[in-house]
Chain A
């Protein structure tokens, strides 16, 4: 009996220990996670130090300022990027691992079966394949870049080697896995991840379906791109009339089909701002550069702030964890900013296959498919094997075996992100640039995504629209190509024909994701361009004759919403003869008194936003019930229709027997919202724009406790301060040049640390929401004052 008791108890204990040592479903391994010696509580400590015997060629000094920003001073470049890798790993190791896994289609290995679909899409889009080709290209052609990537990886791995399990970032503990060694390929994967984030959307299929559904005449009216002519990056007088190069026409034919899907589409309202004001328009007499890239608001923060000082450069700015160099920043001679180019660099080719997909028909010929076998490891489940078909037109993303988007089934994705390139070199050369010619030499390395790059030095200001843009004739690239009759693009707009503007007479350059070129630009550049923030910026820059830095700060945080200013009066005018009930009258009265600023404490931005959304949705409600996905006419074209043809058939609602006009739909949507607002008031103590907008910095794993919700903030997607629920200015920077050294101000929402237990994890969010800036401490040398320092040897 006693023996059985011992066996039973020891068996029970064994089961308990094993059960508490492994991850069960969404529960972390409780024994490891809760142990105060190795578990979550150990992440209360901030990593201040780093192991110092790194075997470097000369000592590297890392000085930390009061915001925990590292200022790295190294003798050689390899030591410099080693130290950058070490700092990124020290503060953002899990974020780097996660971004890499997302880019490589390896999330399922740690997240389980729920992300298999996502991993398959990533691999089928050809991102890992493209990254491998890019690595080969860099190895063969750019030895210095490869050496930097290797040095960076060594720095990351040096940190990983010195980690004990108790020191792992808390997310590794939650998901029960260990950090893997870093490599140059992983860095390239993250670059492809960014390319996917910024240039991974298109609406070719939905436009093709819309053309079929509306017919040519109405399509041209309802999907006019005329608005893209408003305030282009380079205007007519500044644009060359003819291309410097000759381009060959290519065989191309569009295809018309229709089926159902729910794809990711580019959103022109999201983007970035950057402008430069020349010294002729500033109080100091020196140029001022402003840059605020709008990206997903996440925790850990997308950007990592640092200074990189080597033998040939001393640059300050923000970097992307997992990637060496400074991406947006300045050095003592120049400053640069970026916005997403938004130019369409993706085309879909409808293909026919035969012989069990071993052959496809492209441009009038049968060709052999290449197969790439992808093996996806899945946590707590069997591996999944997928076969990706590679064609000359690109990978076939969706097939009958994986039909997440039926509209795109059997189509090849032709995308410049697949091309081998060395985009890193642009940032490397900008980091060490001294003048305009260096800027010009640097930007030519940017391939995908297209970027608008702004530039300032003491003498020059400039802006360029840069990237590999397929050469297309009119309308090509906006619709699906018929692969049977089409040869994919092999010619790209030549570097000298890409838009570039230097020292214009107007004394400023600017970009807010608008169309980069005016109508007289001789080549076809098509994209998903915005039309509001650019005009606000242009007006502000034109109207004021002299700018101080504080004026630029005010501009960068402006909540003025031009979309509302142009749209609301039209909406109010359309219903001026309608008799209003008292509750509707209150609603209208608040809107009439509005100054079109999306300030956080106001109710009017909320009332306008929901009214417009409801009206837009009701107007195009017929499209929701179609068995295929059709692009909805955008706000500008809908507004034009309302003004020009209020009795258009498109305002008649299919769900009612009456024939509606635009004012009827406006009133219906208004009444719906008055009712909604009434019930909203009952469930919410405070009703204002911020509370409704609910700006949230979401943790990458969507852990609520590691996220920051309902940040009290203003802004809207068409304000310069384009802060929405989960998107916004992910870094605000203003740089000017004094005779001695550059002066800069910035704010990185989030913080330096990726550790949710750190005081520097979300330390800047409230200052960011208030529109405050921190003066950036640009250190000249290692004798500068600092909070603490590390010397690596």
Chain B
């Protein structure tokens, strides 16, 4: 898969997060998995990596732009020692879901040609 295609899909992922509910990334990542030509683990890490990057970047962007302490407050509510741990843990957890969604897309690519052949 060309890097251009990955960038296009990453943009689609970011847009989905701005314009649609949070769970729309699962659909975007399923599509990424479906259209990528990597093996299953690479597809998983592609979805997970993209989501982790997008969420983490957004957390840090807002954090740096505003200097607000709401991250610390939310971390306290989740019994975590600091806001960066919260950002990383949250991005990581949802990245796993993104990875699984991409994996679902990959499985569908394998499944569908079989169906078409049958």
Minimum distance in angstroms from A333 CB to a CB of chain B? 41
Task: Note all chain A residues with C-beta closer than 8 A to B26.
Answer: 13, 17
A37–B66 CB distance below 8 A: no
**A2 CB contact (under 8 Å) in B101, B103, B110:** B110
A13–B100 CB distance below 8 A: yes
A-B CB contact pairs (8 Å), 27 listed: A6-B108, A9-B103, A9-B104, A13-B26, A13-B100, A13-B101, A16-B97, A17-B26, A21-B21, A21-B23, A32-B22, A34-B90, A35-B22, A36-B58, A37-B17, A37-B58, A38-B21, A39-B22, A41-B70, A41-B71, A41-B74, A43-B70, A44-B66, A45-B68, A170-B70, A703-B77, A759-B68
A17–B23 CB distance below 8 A: yes
- From B23, which residue of chain A is reached at the shortest CB distance? A17
A5–B66 CB distance below 8 A: no
Minimum distance in angstroms from B21 CB to a CB of chain A? 7
CA distance A758 to B59 in the complex (A): 16
Task: Note all chain B residues with C-beta closer than 8 A to A2.
Answer: 107, 110-111, 114
B101–A705 CB distance below 8 A: no
Chain B residues 27-54 with CB under 8 Å of chain A are none
Task: Note all chain B residues with C-beta closer than 8 A to A13.
Answer: 26, 97, 100-101, 104
Minimum distance in angstroms from B54 CB to a CB of chain A? 8
B107–A41 CB distance below 8 A: no
Interface string of B3-30 (1 = CB under 8 A from A): 0000000000000011001110010000
B76–A704 CB distance below 8 A: yes
User: Knowing A10-B104, A44-B66 touch, does A756 contact B22 (C-beta < 8 A)?
Assistant: no
A38–B22 CB distance below 8 A: yes
Task: Note all chain B residues with C-beta closer than 8 A to A757.
Answer: 66, 68-70, 73
Task: Note all chain B residues with C-beta closer than 8 A to A45.
Answer: 62, 66, 68
Chain B contact residues: helix, strand, loop or mixed: helix
A129 at the interface (CB under 8 A from B): no
CA distance A42 to B63 in the complex (A): 10
A563 at the interface (CB under 8 A from B): no
CA distance A9 to B110 in the complex (A): 14
Task: Note all chain A residues with C-beta closer than 8 A to B73.
Answer: 705-706, 756-757
- From B59, which residue of chain A is reached at the shortest CB distance? A36
A40–B17 CB distance below 8 A: no
A264 at the interface (CB under 8 A from B): no
**B62 CB contact (under 8 Å) in A16, A44, A170:** A44
A406 at the interface (CB under 8 A from B): no
Interface string of B67-97 (1 = CB under 8 A from A): 0111111101100000000010010001001
A36–B55 CB distance below 8 A: yes
B18–A37 CB distance below 8 A: yes
- From A704, which residue of chain B is reached at the shortest CB distance? B76
Interface string of A730-774 (1 = CB under 8 A from B): 000000000000000000000000001111000000000000000
CA distance A37 to B21 in the complex (A): 9
- From A29, which residue of chain B is reached at the shortest CB distance? B22
CA distance A41 to B66 in the complex (A): 10
Task: Note all chain B residues with C-beta closer than 8 A to A140.
Answer: none
A59 at the interface (CB under 8 A from B): no
A41–B111 CB distance below 8 A: no
CA distance A32 to B90 in the complex (A): 12
CA distance A17 to B21 in the complex (A): 11
Chain A residues 23-67 with CB under 8 Å of chain B are 31-32, 34-46
What 8 pairs between A and B have smallest CB-CB spacing?
A: A757-B70, A44-B68, A35-B22, A36-B58, A705-B73, A44-B66, A705-B76, A37-B17
A3 at the interface (CB under 8 A from B): yes
CA distance A16 to B93 in the complex (A): 11
CA distance A44 to B66 in the complex (A): 6
Q: Known pairs A34-B90, A44-B62. 20 more at Cβ < 8 A? A: A2-B110, A3-B111, A9-B107, A12-B100, A13-B100, A17-B26, A32-B21, A35-B55, A37-B17, A38-B22, A40-B70, A41-B59, A41-B71, A41-B74, A45-B66, A170-B70, A756-B70, A757-B68, A757-B70, A757-B73
Task: Note all chain A residues with C-beta closer than 8 A to B62.
Answer: 36, 41-42, 44-45
User: Knowing A3-B111, A12-B100, A13-B101 touch, does A31 contact B59 (C-beta < 8 A)?
Assistant: no
A31–B108 CB distance below 8 A: no
B107–A31 CB distance below 8 A: no
Task: Note all chain B residues with C-beta closer than 8 A to A31.
Answer: 22-23, 94
Task: Note all chain B residues with C-beta closer than 8 A to A43.
Answer: 68, 70
CA distance A639 to B110 in the complex (A): 88
Minimum distance in angstroms from B31 CB to a CB of chain A? 14
User: Knowing A9-B107, A34-B94, A757-B68 touch, does A41 contact B63 (C-beta < 8 A)?
Assistant: yes
Minimum distance in angstroms from B38 CB to a CB of chain A? 17
CA distance A704 to B77 in the complex (A): 8
CA distance A38 to B73 in the complex (A): 17
Interface string of A702-739 (1 = CB under 8 A from B): 01111000000000000000000000000000000000
Q: Which of A10, A36, A40 gathers most chain B CB within 10 Å? A: A36
CA distance A21 to B26 in the complex (A): 13
B104–A35 CB distance below 8 A: no
A6–B68 CB distance below 8 A: no
Minimum distance in angstroms from A172 CB to a CB of chain B? 14
Minimum distance in angstroms from B57 CB to a CB of chain A? 9
Minimum distance in angstroms from B90 CB to a CB of chain A? 4
Minimum distance in angstroms from A14 CB to a CB of chain B? 9
Interface string of A533-577 (1 = CB under 8 A from B): 000000000000000000000000000000000000000000000
CA distance A12 to B107 in the complex (A): 14
CA distance A484 to B91 in the complex (A): 68
CA distance A409 to B4 in the complex (A): 75
CA distance A20 to B87 in the complex (A): 17
CA distance A704 to B73 in the complex (A): 9
**A44 CB contact (under 8 Å) in B22, B70, B94, B114:** B70
CA distance A758 to B101 in the complex (A): 36
CA distance A543 to B23 in the complex (A): 70
